Amino acid sequence: MNHLTSLTIHQARRLLDAREVSSVELTQAFLERIQQVEPKVKAYVTLTPELALEQARAADRRIAEGHAAPLTGIPLQIKDNMCTRGVRTTCSSRMLENFTPPYDATVVERLGAQGAVMLGKGNMDEFAMGSSTENSAFFPTRNPWDLERVPGGSSGGPAAAVAAGEALASLGSDTGGSIRQPAALCGVVGMKPTYGLVSRYGLVAFASSLDQIGPFARDVEDCALMLSAIAGHDRRDSTSLPQPSPDFRSALSGNIRGLRVGVPVEYFNAQGMNREVEKAILDAIAILQGLGAQIDWNVSLPSTRYALAVYYILAPSECSANLARYDGVKYGYSDHTAGSMWEELEATREHGFGQEVKRRIMLGTYSLSSGYYDAYYLKAQKVRTIITSEFQQAFRTHDVLVTPTSPTVAFRLGDKTSDPLQMYLSDVCTIPVNIAGLPGLSLPCGFAGGLPVGMQIIGPALGDAAVLRAAHAYEQATEWHTRWPELE
């Protein structure tokens, strides 16, 4: 890997500000790296080299004038479900294969305001529905640590791009673990912020009460820089929290002496938990204890075991409503081979959506249908309230909770495609966090069978700074974040 493509954002920032490297040189290095490894990894749906170099030249002018922001001139990737004006946004679906948005998502606007450089759009599971990026309508992304394995999902492209040195950082979206699970499987840092902290305006909706945009990065400091850039109130998103974005990097004190860390027992009894993964997490907790954190091993979140069932009622219900807009009338794919208007609409949805998307639309439509609404959707909402209140109770006496991010390391391509339930279990440790709207971060904490293991740190609502502080202290005491896959 070229030394420029192995930098962190804060290292690149020092070089850029000292004029030891230009944004154009940095961007060119990443474009060359992409050309070298992208045929193996396939992390990008769309590359934007001309736009990237144009933005890099503008960033160099801004740096020369002394107006650099933390992300000025930094080459990034954006998951392909965030609108980018003039650049196609496909959601890795045939339905939107040729869709070019007329506006930018708020997060894209905010990165642009800082002068960041967009290298392209990241591959994903279609409409963010999946845990392996094998549901992309175009091609699966491969894990840079083992090209025969999945990178996780649905943000597999953004996670793999950062791990493979194809971007300094990236943006993903997380509905049930779609940032944290691929971060764990690819050995990078990934964070789902508190629900409402980052605007969803311009994010193509999957499940609106669960979706949240967040960063992938090479270390926790970069993650904090990215989150500071994209967080903050947006009047165009009715669920956006009415408060400014804090400087999250200032929370990284390195000191967690006295931090109250809870370890929920249910997460270590999760179905399919790999023993090597469990050992890596227990070793990581021992390091937190050595740094002065107070560890409580007796935290219980008993309703956690219902979270997967709740999620697979609520998320498909919201998806069936959100994806009703794809009818081939105003934009996107349209099948004109059928006879009547209704036949064309049916054919459009039949051929435009992939199998997993159609499965979830049908699950959701069933849950919301007359006679089943009370038995499924309404009951799931009630259990959601119980899960949320259990977390609130735990955070009365704890600052953060620590769990595995994923019960296993990256599995082989094709291993779970024929068994949806096994695939859904990949997110068993991450889903409860979305249900309760809490911040959660995954960071590297070891290896099992030569593949990365991720530790999840969960905080109370708006406890994002505490999560970052705990993660940063652990990271500084270990070297896992300095290891990168060999892809030459």
Backbone angles phi, psi at 277, to 5 degrees: -65, -45
**SS3 category, 448:** strand
Question: Is residue 350 predicted with pLDDT exceeding 80?
Answer: yes
Question: Is residue 1 predicted with pLDDT exceeding 70?
Answer: no
Token pair of 158 as six digits: 């953004």
Is 218 within the bounds of a domain?
yes
pLDDT at 145: 98
Per the DSSP assignment, residues forming a β-bridge with 46 are: 121
Question: Is residue 484 predicted with pLDDT exceeding 90?
Answer: yes
pLDDT at 425: 83
One-letter amino acid identity for 4? Answer: L
Q: How far apart are CA 175 and CA 58, in angstroms?
A: 34
Is 209 within the bounds of a domain?
yes
Is 254 within the bounds of a domain?
no
Backbone angles phi, psi at 410, to 5 degrees: -60, 130
Is 150 within the bounds of a domain?
yes
Mean pLDDT across the chain? 95
For 51, the domain range is 3-248
Helical residues (DSSP H) of 251-378, grouped into ranges: 275-290, 307-322, 341-352, 355-368
Is 452 within the bounds of a domain?
no
Q: Look up residue 296 and give its DSSP letter.
A: E
Question: Is residue 299 predicted with pLDDT exceeding 80?
Answer: yes
Domain with residue 144: its CATH number is 3.90.1300.10
Is 36 within the bounds of a domain?
yes
Helical residues (DSSP H) of 189-333, grouped into ranges: 220-230, 275-290, 307-322
pLDDT at 462: 97
Is 92 within the bounds of a domain?
yes
Report whether 4 contacts 26 (CB < 8 A).
yes
Residue 439: count other Cβ atoms within 10 Å of its Cβ. 27
* Structural domains in the chain (count): 1
One-letter amino acid identity for 230? Answer: I
pLDDT at 370: 86
Alpha carbons within 13 A on the beta-carbon side of 292: 9
Q: Is residue 173 reached through a cis peptide bond, with omega within 30 degrees of 0 on the bond before it?
A: no
Max CA separation in the chain (angstroms): 70
**SS3 category, 171:** strand
Question: Is residue 400 predicted with pLDDT exceeding 90?
Answer: yes
Report whether 121 contacts 84 (CB < 8 A).
yes
Report whether 103 contacts 41 (CB < 8 A).
no
Alpha carbons within 13 A on the beta-carbon side of 183: 37
Worst-scoring range by mean pLDDT, 248-257, 334-343, 369-378? 334-343
pLDDT at 329: 85
Q: How far apart are CA 133 and CA 153, in angstroms?
A: 5
Backbone angles phi, psi at 412, to 5 degrees: -70, 145
Categorize the per-residue pLDDT at 297 as very low, low, confident or very high, splitting at 50, 70 and 90: very high
Question: Is residue 188 predicted with pLDDT exceeding 90?
Answer: yes
Q: Look up residue 146 and give its DSSP letter.
A: B
Worst-scoring range by mean pLDDT, 125-129, 157-161, 325-329? 325-329
Lookup result for tokens 């004190």: 253
Q: How far apart are CA 462 and CA 94, in angstroms?
A: 37
Token pair of 257 as six digits: 């002496």
Question: Is residue 463 predicted with pLDDT exceeding 90?
Answer: yes
Residues noted as catalytic: 79, 154, 178
Question: Which of 146, 420, 478, 426 minimizes the C-alpha distance to 274?
Answer: 426
Alpha carbons within 13 A on the beta-carbon side of 411: 19
Q: How far apart are CA 25 and CA 63, in angstroms?
A: 14
Question: Is residue 488 predicted with pLDDT exceeding 80?
Answer: no
**Strands laid side by side in the 400-404 sheet:** 44-47, 117-122, 75-79, 169-174, 212-217, 189-192, 440-448, 451-458, 400-404, 260-264, 294-299
Per the DSSP assignment, residues forming a β-bridge with 213 are: 173
Token pair of 338 as six digits: 């059928």
Is 345 within the bounds of a domain?
no
> What value, to the nearest 5°, has the Cα angle with vertex 152 and ends 180 and 385?
45
Backbone angles phi, psi at 68, to 5 degrees: -70, 135
